[in-house]
């Protein structure tokens, strides 16, 4: 599993390092993955810029393999990490998704193997809340995309080229019922961070015990002030 993380977010700088309950936001995601999944290795894919030295240090402190590469060419960052790790496919996760349900990783990986897909996703179209996004990507497919496009947006957003040229790749999507695609569970802004803090404060069990459906209800409760 490759966790994409950086400190230089425009809307909320340093968000993955912001502390909640005495630990950084990124640590929540790592804890959830470790408690919810067996047999997966974790790789923190951050940039080689000085701003991300603290992100890399956190990964090392938490015992996660750290791979560093280009800040803006994230496709190259992931391909470099994949080559050095010797993998033919990888799970792509976002460091600003501290409440990601690890069961979705297992679901996506199972579908990837069963369908022999180039890309398995739950955002094409999106029906899970933001912050519950999972992609399993074949390295060969990403190499084809990288060779086909030097567009800066494609290089930054990794799978953008595959989605824009879905007819050229074997893409499989899995969905959530009911559709909760407009719900925000990632941390992109100060308001999102406050919501995350409020949700954590209301948890009566370890955070990794809460799956996506419980998180949806918890968010609704927090927003309603109940």
Q: What is the pLDDT along the chain (226 residues), one digit of tens a residue?
A: 999 999 988 789 899 999 999 999 999 999 999 999 988 999 999 999 999 999 999 999 999 999 999 999 999 999 999 999 999 999 999 999 999 999 999 999 999 999 999 999 999 999 999 999 999 999 999 999 999 999 999 999 999 999 999 999 999 999 999 999 999 999 999 999 999 999 999 999 999 999 999 999 999 999 998 6
Bridge partners (DSSP) listed for residue 120: 136, 172
Counting other chains too, the contacts that 151-160 makes at CB distance below 8 Å and 24 or more residues apart are 152/72, 154/75, 155/72, 155/73, 155/74, 155/75, 155/76, 156/72, 156/73, 156/74, 156/75, 157/74, 158/4, 158/74, 158/75, 158/78, 158/92, 159/92, 159/119, 159/121, 159/135
pLDDT at 201: 97
Distance CA 136, CA 213 (A): 22
pLDDT at 32: 98
Distance CA 221, CA 226 (A): 5
> Span 2-224: which CATH code?
3.90.550.10
Distance CA 29, CA 104 (A): 13
Helix (H, G, I), strand (E, B) or coil at 222: helix
Query: Any idea which residue has 């470099």 for tokens?
Result: 80
Indicate the pTM of the whole model. Answer: 0.96
Single out the residue of 194, 141, 159 nearest to residue 12, CA to CA: 194
């Amino acid at each position: 599993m490759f966790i994409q993380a950086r400190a230089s977010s425009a809307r909320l700088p340093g968000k993955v390092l912001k502390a909640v309950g005495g630990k950084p936001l990124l640590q929540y995601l790592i804890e959830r993955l470790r408690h919810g999944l067996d047999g997966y290795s974790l790789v923190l894919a951050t940039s080689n810029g000085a701003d991300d030295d603290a992100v890399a240090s956190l990964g090392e402190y938490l015992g996660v393999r750290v791979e560093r590469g280009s800040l803006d060419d994230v496709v190259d960052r992931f391909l470099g990490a994949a080559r050095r790790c010797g993998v033919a496919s990888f799970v792509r996760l976002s460091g600003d998704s501290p409440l990601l349900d690890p069961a979705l990783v297992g679901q996506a990986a199972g579908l990837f193997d069963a369908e022999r897909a180039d890309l398995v996703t739950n955002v094409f179209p999106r029906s899970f809340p933001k912050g519950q996004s999972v992609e399993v990507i074949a390295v060969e497919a990403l190499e084809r995309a990288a060779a086909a496009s030097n567009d800066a947006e494609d290089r930054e957003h990794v799978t953008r080229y595959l989605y824009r040229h879905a007819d050229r790749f074997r893409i499989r999507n899995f969905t959530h019922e009911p559709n909760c695609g407009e719900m925000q569970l990632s941390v992109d802004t100060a308001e999102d961070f406050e919501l995350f803090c409020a949700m954590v404060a209301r948890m009566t069990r370890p955070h990794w015990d809460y799956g996506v459906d419980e998180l949806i209800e918890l968010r609704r409760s927090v927003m309603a002030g109940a």
